[in-house]
């Protein structure tokens, strides 16, 4: 074979490779036509926008984008398109039955790590197919089983939302498992990181960071047990976590527990059921977010059905909802940032991801406006995690985590949010009921 023939063959092969690469690039580029687009940064709806996606990333968003001939188009012109939802308080490795008197003890003693993470993977997919493309998983997940599940999702072994995980909850003596006799109390060490002094607190953060935690979860007070962390212990945790650029969020249900956690420098408060205006003002001044983990009226009804509770049923539901509403409205008035979190670890006899979505309905029942709820469930949640340029937004450079719903989100919010038609995470489509119905 002469030299010129060799060159011709090489050039021919090179041309084939280049053309194949171009064809692959074209096939990897898609355009979404959005009838309405939720701008999560500004909290407003835009009309007739186009989203250009290349691979797993959004590369262009606008209403004047030219779509090439023969391009792959996902037509969502009859839908409201928005960033994938973010649930900022989950426990994917936990599901408690309401009729079980000792759910946590049973789980720790009899379920085992392998079974827990396998069940957790199914629950993770439930969140994803219900429109949650990201979750913040906050403990109750054994000895870093949340890190294992996150790894499996990231490598494509199982389907699920993006996970930001805390590892075991850092907590004071007793954890959150009541009624354990003294000689058996050590078994809860498999579920929590128990600390007893400031040195323990500092080292606990190191252990969590070394094992792959994305943030730190503590219990300022560890209800239903009575003990709590000291301010000095919490300050040590916060200082060490911030050294490694990790946020700290605190389970805190009483006003004292919330005030002490905020004083210690935490970044977020989970639950915050009993909180004074003074403490809310302090939270706003320090930029501490609140994750209200409330229950919707339909879930209350389901809860009462399961436990067969009928005495003063409506009065009990109304009383709880009034307390939720009072706290949420005072927090908003004080200027506290609200971030959406379901805390759904209860078996409501429906897919957990579906039950989790009821948190959106709970906020609306308590007077929060639909677009504000969506902003809390996307942009503000991503911002808490320092990911507001890649998650919770539809803009250039962000992950192509996109969902679409059918209906009017402003005037028929509850029905529309459950009328999910499209779910994409990282450019991969998981739900496309739109095309199935055509």
The predicted-structure confidence for 52-111, as pLDDT tens digits, reads as follows 999 999 999 999 999 999 999 999 999 999 999 999 999 999 988 887 766 666 666 677
Residue-level pLDDT at 422: 97
Residue 326's CB is within 10 A of a number of other CB atoms, namely: 13
Instruction: Tell me the percentage of the chain whose pLDDT exceeds 70.
Output: 89
Residue-level pLDDT at 27: 55
Q: What is the tens place of the pLDDT at every residue in 403-430?
A: 999 999 999 999 999 999 999 999 999 9
What integer best gives the mean pLDDT of the chain? 90
The more confidently predicted of residues 175 and 215 is 215
Q: Could you tell me if residue 291 is left (phi over 0), alpha (psi between -120 and 50 degrees) or otherwise beta?
A: beta
The more confidently predicted of residues 307 and 25 is 307
Tell me the pLDDT band of 125, cut-offs 50, 70 and 90.
very high
For the ranges 30-44, 189-203, 424-438, the lowest mean pLDDT is seen at: 424-438
Domains in the chain and their CATH numbers?
A: 31-83+397-437 (2.30.40.10), 85-356 (3.20.20.140)
Kindly tell me if the per-residue pLDDT of 434 is higher than 70.
no
What's the sign of the alpha-carbon dihedral 115, 118, 122, 128? positive
How wide is the angle at C-alpha 321 spanned by C-alphas 319 and 323, nearest 5°?
70
Kindly tell me if the per-residue pLDDT of 299 is higher than 90.
yes
Q: What is the tens place of the pLDDT at every residue in 318-340?
A: 999 999 999 999 999 999 999 99
Tokens of 46: 């835009």
Residue-level pLDDT at 3: 56
Kindly tell me if the per-residue pLDDT of 2 is higher than 90.
no
For the ranges 14-18, 108-112, 149-153, 301-305, the lowest mean pLDDT is seen at: 14-18
Mean pLDDT of 171-199: 82
Residue-level pLDDT at 99: 78
Kindly tell me if the per-residue pLDDT of 246 is higher than 80.
yes
Mean pLDDT of 12-38: 66
Residue-level pLDDT at 1: 54
Mean pLDDT of 256-262: 98
Whose tokens are 């053309």? That residue is: 19
Helix-then-strand count for the chain, H and E: 16, 16
Residue-level pLDDT at 261: 98
Kindly tell me if the per-residue pLDDT of 10 is higher than 80.
no
Residue 46's CB is within 10 A of a number of other CB atoms, namely: 16
Confidence (pTM): 0.91
Kindly tell me if the per-residue pLDDT of 341 is higher than 70.
yes
* Contacts for 373 with CB less than 8 Å, ≥ 6 apart: 340, 360, 363, 364, 413
Tokens of 279: 């403490």
Kindly tell me if the per-residue pLDDT of 17 is higher than 50.
no
Q: What is the tens place of the pLDDT at every residue in 285-294?
A: 999 999 999 9
* Contacts for 97 with CB less than 8 Å, ≥ 6 apart: 103, 347
Mean pLDDT of 283-304: 95
CB 410 within 8 A of CB 36: no
* Contacts for 282 with CB less than 8 Å, ≥ 6 apart: 259, 262, 263, 288
Mean pLDDT of 25-29: 64
Tell me the pLDDT band of 213, cut-offs 50, 70 and 90.
very high
């Amino acid at each position: 074979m002469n030299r010129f023939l060799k060159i011709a063959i090489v050039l021919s092969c090179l041309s084939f490779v280049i053309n194949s690469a171009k064809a692959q690039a074209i096939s990897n580029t898609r355009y979404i036509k959005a009838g309405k687009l939720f701008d999560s940064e500004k909290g407003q709806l835009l009309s007739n926008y186009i989203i250009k996606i290349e691979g797993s990333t959004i590369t262009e968003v606008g209403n004047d984008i030219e779509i090439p001939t023969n391009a792959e188009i996902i037509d969502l012109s009859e839908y409201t398109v928005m960033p994938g939802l973010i649930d900022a308080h989950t426990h994917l490795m936990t599901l408690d039955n309401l009729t079980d008197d000792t759910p946590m003890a049973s789980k720790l003693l009899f379920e085992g790590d392998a079974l827990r993470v396998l069940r957790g993977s199914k629950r993770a997919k439930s969140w994803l197919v219900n429109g949650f493309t990201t979750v913040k998983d906050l403990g109750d997940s054994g000895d870093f089983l949340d890190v294992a599940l996150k790894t499996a999702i990231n490598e494509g072994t199982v389907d699920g939302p993006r996970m930001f995980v805390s590892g075991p909850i850092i907590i004071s003596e007793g954890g959150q498992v009541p009624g354990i006799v003294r000689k058996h109390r050590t078994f809860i060490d498999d579920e929590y990181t128990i600390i007893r002094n400031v040195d323990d607190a500092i080292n606990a953060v190191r252990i969590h960071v070394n094992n792959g935690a994305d943030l730190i979860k503590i219990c300022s007070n560890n209800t239903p047990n009575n003990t709590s962390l000291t301010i000095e212990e919490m300050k040590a945790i916060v200082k060490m976590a911030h050294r490694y650029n990790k946020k700290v969020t605190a389970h805190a249900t009483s006003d004292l527990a919330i005030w002490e956690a905020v004083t210690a420098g935490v970044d977020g408060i989970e639950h915050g059921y009993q909180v004074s205006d003074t403490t809310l003002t302090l939270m706003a001044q320090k930029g501490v977010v609140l994750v209200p983990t409330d229950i919707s009226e339909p879930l209350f009804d389901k809860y009462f059905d399961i436990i067969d509770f009928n005495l003063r049923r409506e009065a009990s539901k109304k009383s709880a909802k009034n307390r939720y509403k009072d706290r949420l409205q005072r927090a908003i008035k004080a200027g506290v940032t609200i971030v959406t979190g379901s805390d759904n670890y209860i078996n409501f006899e429906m897919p957990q991801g579906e039950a989790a979505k009821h948190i959106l309905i709970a906020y609306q029942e308590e007077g929060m406006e639909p677009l504000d709820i969506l902003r809390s469930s996307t942009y503000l949640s991503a911002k808490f995690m320092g990911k507001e340029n890649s998650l919770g937004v539809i803009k250039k450079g962000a992950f192509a985590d996109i969902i679409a719903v059918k209906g009017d989100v402003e005037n028929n919010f509850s029905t529309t949010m459950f009328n999910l038609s499209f779910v994409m995470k990282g450019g991969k489509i998981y739900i496309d009921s739109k095309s199935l119905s055509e």
